[in-house]
Amino acid sequence: MAEEAAVVSRPTQQLSSRAGWSDIKARHPWLVFLLSRVARLVVVCALLLVGTFLMVRLMPGDPARRILGLQATPEAVELTRHRLGLDRPQFEQLWSYCWNALHLDFGESFSQGVPVRELIAERFPKTVELAAAATMVLLIVGFGVGTLMAVLTRDGRRPRLDATYGTSMGALSAVPDFVLAALFAVVFGLYLKWFPVAGDNGLSSLTLPTLAVAIPGIGFLSRVVRAEALDVLSQNYVRTARAKRLTGRRIYIRHVMPNAAYGGVTLAGVSFASLVGGTVVVEQVFNWPGMGSALTSAVVNRDYPVVQAGVLLLGATVVIVNTLVDVLLAIVDPGALREN
């Protein structure tokens, strides 16, 4: 309070256009909000396009030489350069790259000789499947466990459970996804033979990869949800709700959960990024035929069109999901929208 009062307000020049803008903002908060999010999405995707374009251009060496190998004749290299359009001006190349990328045309895979588009059509849905399943497990278990622990350990109740939970969740989030994946493959796939270790044979083969992707995030998310729920429990409006003699159930469901969800969803959005990163690694372990395993083998084989497509698609997915989370948050708490 004192700090705020001490802050000397700087004289700001109020531009007339500014005033008009704030007027629009006040009248159509949703419109302004959605426009700003879409604008950001477009900018980020544009940056992604330029980034993936530059990625290949900035690499030392000539892509054509890399395709053909060191023994290739200069004529052959020149021919390939022409075929790839590398002899055209950079800006023209960037333009046609972007134009084609927007049509999901990334050229041909260097190593497999098939159009990258076909590869994507085959691989990308598999990654979406895995990521969606893992997100669902992450959210349900993370929120469930976090809220439960907050209720059980509030006001310093059950200190031993509290300590055990903290330590075990800390340990859980310290286990990397690929190690977890390897462990699962050995224990549940190899010894217990509950689930297949590799490939894609429906739900049973989806189980292990999903758990391997979701569990490290659960350790993190459930702790955040718990802290968030405890924080909400100590808020004045919960005291108000108690003063109204509401039932404990109503206090939790209507007053605590929505407010705890806000922080939880924010973090769920953040953890989605690492979750997509997790799929890249876990797909490799279980031989899951998704975008991630295609991406890693493309990096090993220096198959640049596939690398570009993989990075672009996975990156765009993360950005789009984050935008959706922002919109979701605004729906959960329209008050924040107005202040935004």
Question: Which residues, 264 to 303, sit near another protein by CB under 8 A?
Answer: 273-274, 276-278, 280-281, 284-285, 295-296, 299-300, 302
Cβ distance to another protein smaller for residue 59 or 114? 59
Query: Binding to another protein by residue 142, rule CB under 8 A?
Result: no
How far is it, in rounded angstroms, from Cα 150 to Cα 115? 52
**Does 199 engage in binding with another protein (CB under 8 A)?**
no
Where b means 16+ CB within 10 Å and e means fewer, 250-288 reads ebbeebbbebbbbbbbbbbbbbbbebbebbbbbbbbbbb
Q: Are 235 and 300 in contact, with CB atoms under 8 Å apart?
A: no
Q: Scanning residues 146 to 175, which ones bind another protein (CB under 8 A)? A: 154-156, 159, 162-163, 166-167, 170-171, 173-175
Q: Which of the ranges 73-81, 106-114, 118-126, 257-265 carries the binding residues for another protein, by CB under 8 A?
A: 257-265
- Applying CB under 8 A, among 20, 248, 253, 340 the residue interacting with another protein is 248
How many binding residues for another protein (CB under 8 A)? 84
Candidates 216, 249, 255; CA nearest to 237 is 255
> For residue 150, what are the contacts with CB-CB under 8 A and spacing of at least 6?
225, 226, 227, 229, 230, 233, 260
Contact between 263 and another protein (CB under 8 A)? no
Contacts with another protein in 80-109 (CB under 8 A)? none
- Tell me the closest approach of the beta carbon of residue 79 to another protein, in angstroms: 25
**225 to 244, contacts with another protein by CB under 8 A?**
227, 230-231, 233-244
Q: Which of residues 41-70 bind another protein (CB under 8 A)?
A: 43-44, 47, 55, 58-59
Interacting positions 302-321 with another protein (CB under 8 A): 302, 304, 307, 311, 314-315, 318-319
